[in-house]
Structure 1
Amino acid sequence: MTAWMSPVDTALTEAAGTALARALDGRPLVSAERFCSSIRTLYAGPGPLPAARPVLAIGCYPGWEPAAPSTVLAAENRTGRRGPAERHSWMEAVGADAVRQLAELHRPPVIAAWYATGRLRRWAGPGGTVAAIDGRLRAVIEDKAAFDALLQETGVPQRMRIPCVRVDGALPALAELRRQVGSERLVVQAGADSGGRGTVFVDSEEDLRRAAAMSGPYKVAAFVTGWSSNTTILSVPDTSGGVAVYVDRPSHKAIGVTAAGIGPGKSAGNDWSRPWPERAAAELVDAAVRIGRHLWTEHRMAGLFGLDALLTEDGRVMFNEINCRNQGTTEVSAVNQQLRGLPPFLAAHLTVLLSGRPDWLPEADVFNHATIRAAVRPGPGPYYLKLRHRGTGPIRASGLRGPGVYRVEDGRLAWVRPGAHPACANADLGEVLLANLPAEHVVCLPGAELGTAEALTTGPGTPFAAPHQLSPFGDAVLDALAAHLTPAPTLSEVTPS
């Protein structure tokens, strides 16, 4: 771990582990997410929580020691392939064996996932539990067309809301929409999808036709320039019928970085080392608390959720989306809590969803005031950069030692040490943790996820220079990784391992 990491309070760690173990009540914890290494920040970092290490991980990518439980059921181990289709179909690929292995556990499992679905409930079986936000509730809260109404209901000021209109029928003409929202460039959103899906940037009639192909209702908003951002929030019911809302430090999120193979509207990663203006940070925290209390009052929603926002060029914060579930940021944003000597929010999230009490948490107001102080200071903070196969043909990753800490040397990646936690790498010294890399035999198709680059930095080691641009260090990491990608056989020549 880097010298920046404060020791996580031993008493708090023990209390968090005890609370989670009590909530599990001897039931086996199972993770069911795309990455079998999920939850690793809880058990492979400072102040590890043994109760949080799943006994079984079910997913697409297999993980690595020490970032995976001893038993892993990963679709990639069967197909020997990575690609866009594989990352969306892994549940079908392992479904039958997942049901069998779960049924063989000594007790009905607790399955940790992004959100609860009928499939996961069937996997859990009689007596089993899915520790996740209910998928139907998630769809209601995340409905992009309803987001501005949610902000109005919670009393978020107009200055923090992006000008927009809701369209329940067919989308009007482009000129009319521009007139209604007062912007030449538009952002059309629909549904409750993730990863940038359900969002279309509209500059032309052709873009509007693509947006109209989505199922409505639609939110049509003005395009606002600035940094995108993500904030992780935790709601914890109190003993008097209310809820305590904890707000993490907001990030700077790079969007649509073409050099990284990331399309428009999609995130290239997040950086929590950059400071925020104090007023914007304070207003973000206040609005997040309002929204968390509203979700509890109206929906009895507790646990983790996220807010996406824009930090404008003149230093204002404006909200654009809510994510009622674990997110792609959940793993690395947990380091923010560890930097403050606390166990990650995720431990409390699981405890709350199992009707337990995370009584180790500090007072929410005290925590949130400290969040504002942390947000306005430069680093140290964690980041992650998504790694994608940017080429047009199948490749394999060659000449690497799997996930771990590397340094760029002479245009290639040089192994430094094993690692499974972002704080294992000091980006200011040129180090980076490459997480979830494919094994050398795995064939990666165009657009495949190759993993993430993660580290701590005080600023010089950030992978992003601007809202849509890599830094020289980010460029160097991606170019060095590309030097290890060698052509692979076509799909017809691949024999699954």
Structure 2
Amino acid sequence: MTFPMPGHDSGLWQAAEDELTAALDGRPLVAAERFASSGRTSYSGPVPIAAARPALAIGCYEPWGPASPVEALTLEGRTALRGIDQRRSWMADLDRAAQTAVRRHGRPVVAAWYATERLRHWAGPGGTVAAIDASLRAEVEDKANFGDILTRSGVPATLHLPGTRIDGPLPGLHELRRLVRAEKVVVQSGADSGGRGTVFVDDEADLARAAEMPGPYRVTAFVTGWSANTTVLSVPDTAGRLRVYVDRPSHKAVGLPEAGIAAGKSGGNTWCLPWPKDAAARLVDAAVRIAHWAWQTHRIKGLFGLDALLRADGQVFLNEINCRNQGTTEASAVNQQLRGLPPFLIAHLTTMLDHPITWLPDPDDFNNATVALATAPGPGPYYLKLRHRGAVPVRLDQHLPGPGVYRLHGGRLLWVRPGAHPADAGHGEVLLANLPAPGTVCEPGAELGTAEGITTAAAAPFASPHSLSKTGRALLAAFDRHLVPADPREGTAP
């Protein structure tokens, strides 16, 4: 490994495993997420926690080797197709099969982003969905409510984006610009994820697209700089007091046309680039305040995420809350492991099942160390999203046999070894995770997986908030050479 994991306290890790096991209380863990490999950085890699490996994973994409749950049910495994339609419909397409599969496991604990009626039906009588309720998630994540959340949480006004809430129809462009005192305007609506529900408004055509979204709206000034994500863990103790742990903030690349990532959508994150100390400290303080508001107001605990914007002058603004697991949850777990701790996800599952946690450190000490780590240059995990950017269906050629560790050589990718954790990739290597299985037909716009590893700023995949680095471009160019045209009839209908 390029950056070996630090020595770990075996007693602490054993306590984390024992407490998760006790929380499950003999019930099988069932994961229901788009990636059937969800949670792999907890149960694979240098210090795996066996209790976190699901007995059953239900998802859109197939898992692989060391990232596999005990059993998997996926849409891709049934259709050999991967595309936009499949990633939107997989839960409905697998509904009946999922009910049957879950019921075979008795009283399951279903881990998911948020609890829906469908998931509760899958869990069945005696089952548990270990996630925030979907209706509460929708209320808290509604982008129109975020300004009010910041105010109620006591977050200093300097971290609020200039903006306003609009409950009726959107006014004209001139009025929007006047309201936020900026030429470029951002209109947000609803509680969607992945950049959906956000429109950057430069002209009347953009405004018309924004007006197609249902209100109410949050309208803010566009801020130039890095987007960022921070993972936060809230854990109530046995006396009802809340302990809040704030992870190192990332640098998130947004709108990467060269990688097939549209404006407002994330192309991936890296945690190896340093933050200004004052900005990191203010972000951590704000996260703690919001966590206390969420607990006191809604009894929200476990994992949630904050999105922020970091300007070149060091000013930081908060712009969104996601009170659930996120796309960053998998890779950001490596931050905790690099600090000698089990991933936050283990504590999340344990506390969502109302079991006390003893192995977490003092939160103030942890958060002070977070600021120091965020400020100093040093290694951190990264992931870069891989998308099919062409206009015709493709599949991977025989030189890319599936997920694992690869090395870039001669403009192509060479298989090195199996792997499922970013730390499995050594110097000059990369983990390609969640690739389609051989023969899978990938339609235009399909998610092809992620490139992952642990690196320093010199080899980060992003050069700026909206562009790839030389390293990132070389990786994508090499990956593209392994995509060959496919006959869509090779796949099968759901």
TM-score normalized with structure 1 length: 0.98
Structure 2 match to 1:140: 139
Distance 1:440 1:287, change over 3 A: same
Does structure 2 retain, via aligned residues, the 8 Å contact 1:190–1:218?
yes
1:131 matched to 2:130: yes
Structure 2 match to 1:231: 230
Measure the CA separation in 1 of the matches of 2:315 and 2:8. 33
Structure 1 match to 2:69: 69
Measure the CA separation in 1 of the matches of 2:136 and 2:3. 42
Deviation at 1:496, TM superposition (A): 5.9
1:425 matched to 2:425: yes
Structure 1 match to 2:475: 477
Q: Structure 1: which amino acid aligns with 2:483?
A: L
Structure 2 match to 1:441: 439
Structure 2 match to 1:91: 91
Structure 1 match to 2:337: 338
1:454 matched to 2:452: yes
Distance 1:341 1:155, change over 3 A: same
1:44 matched to 2:71: no
Q: Which secondary structure state, in structure 1, belongs to the residue aligned with residue 459 of structure 2?
A: coil
Q: 5+ unaligned residues in a row in structure 1: which ranges?
A: none
Deviation at 1:495, TM superposition (A): 4.1
Does structure 2 retain, via aligned residues, the 8 Å contact 1:10–1:47?
no
Structure 2 match to 1:394: 393
Q: Which secondary structure state, in structure 2, belongs to the residue aligned with residue 73 of structure 1?
A: strand
Q: Structure 2: which amino acid aligns with 1:111?
A: V
Measure the CA separation in 1 of the matches of 2:26 and 2:263. 45
Deviation at 1:317, TM superposition (A): 1.0
Q: Which secondary structure state, in structure 1, belongs to the residue aligned with residue 66 of structure 2?
A: coil
Deviation at 1:241, TM superposition (A): 2.0
Does structure 2 retain, via aligned residues, the 8 Å contact 1:8–1:343?
no
Cα deviations across residues 428-480 of structure 1 (Å, max 9, x unaligned)? x3211000001121000000000000000022221000000000110011111
Measure the CA separation in 1 of the matches of 2:463 and 2:186. 24
Measure the CA separation in 1 of the matches of 2:339 and 2:415. 29
Alignment of 1:236-315 (within 5 A): 236-315=235-314
Q: 5+ unaligned residues in a row in structure 2: which ranges?
A: none
Q: Which secondary structure state, in structure 2, belongs to the residue aligned with residue 175 of structure 1?
A: helix
Measure the CA separation in 2 of the matches of 1:70 and 1:401. 22
Deviation at 1:353, TM superposition (A): 0.4
Measure the CA separation in 2 of the matches of 1:77 and 1:248. 35
Structure 1 match to 2:465: 467
Measure the CA separation in 2 of the matches of 1:200 and 1:475. 27
Deviation at 1:255, TM superposition (A): 0.2
Deviation at 1:372, TM superposition (A): 0.6
Matched positions, count: 493
Measure the CA separation in 2 of the matches of 1:423 and 1:493. 35
Does structure 1 retain, via aligned residues, the 8 Å contact 2:3–2:379?
no
Which of 16-25 and 151-160 deviates more? 151-160
Which of 1-10 and 369-378 deviates more? 1-10
Deviation at 1:235, TM superposition (A): 0.3
Deviation at 1:4, TM superposition (A): 3.3
TM-score normalized with structure 2 length: 0.98
Structure 2 match to 1:170: 169
Does structure 1 retain, via aligned residues, the 8 Å contact 2:3–2:454?
no
Measure the CA separation in 2 of the matches of 1:132 and 1:285. 24
Measure the CA separation in 2 of the matches of 1:88 and 1:207. 25
Measure the CA separation in 2 of the matches of 1:70 and 1:321. 35
Q: Structure 2: which amino acid aligns with 1:361?
A: L
Q: Structure 2: which amino acid aligns with 1:30?
A: V
Deviation at 1:239, TM superposition (A): 2.5
Structure 2 match to 1:379: 378
Measure the CA separation in 2 of the matches of 1:235 and 1:493. 47
Which of 183-192 and 399-408 deviates more? 399-408
Structure 1 match to 2:23: 23
Deviation at 1:5, TM superposition (A): 1.5
Structure 2 match to 1:185: 184
Measure the CA separation in 2 of the matches of 1:178 and 1:430. 47
Measure the CA separation in 2 of the matches of 1:82 and 1:242. 45
Measure the CA separation in 2 of the matches of 1:425 and 1:471. 19
Q: Structure 1: which amino acid aligns with 2:238?
A: T
Alignment of 1:349-360 (within 5 A): 349-360=348-359
Cα deviations across residues 192-229 of structure 1 (Å, max 9, x unaligned)? 00000000000000100000000000001000000000
Structure 2 match to 1:60: 60
Deviation at 1:8, TM superposition (A): 2.8
Give the alignment's Cα RMSD to 1 decimal: 1.1
Cα deviations across residues 281-316 of structure 1 (Å, max 9, x unaligned)? 000000000000010000000000000000111011
Q: Which secondary structure state, in structure 2, belongs to the residue aligned with residue 305 of structure 1?
A: strand
Which of 264-273 and 412-421 deviates more? 412-421
Q: Structure 2: which amino acid aligns with 1:450?
A: L
Measure the CA separation in 2 of the matches of 1:175 and 1:287. 32
Cα deviations across residues 142-172 of structure 1 (Å, max 9, x unaligned)? 0100101110111111111110010000000
Measure the CA separation in 1 of the matches of 2:339 and 2:439. 40
Structure 2 match to 1:33: 33
Measure the CA separation in 1 of the matches of 2:493 and 2:406. 29
Measure the CA separation in 2 of the matches of 1:205 and 1:492. 42
Measure the CA separation in 2 of the matches of 1:459 and 1:422. 16
Does structure 2 retain, via aligned residues, the 8 Å contact 1:7–1:46?
no
Measure the CA separation in 1 of the matches of 2:405 and 2:470. 19
Deviation at 1:7, TM superposition (A): 2.6
Measure the CA separation in 1 of the matches of 2:454 and 2:31. 26
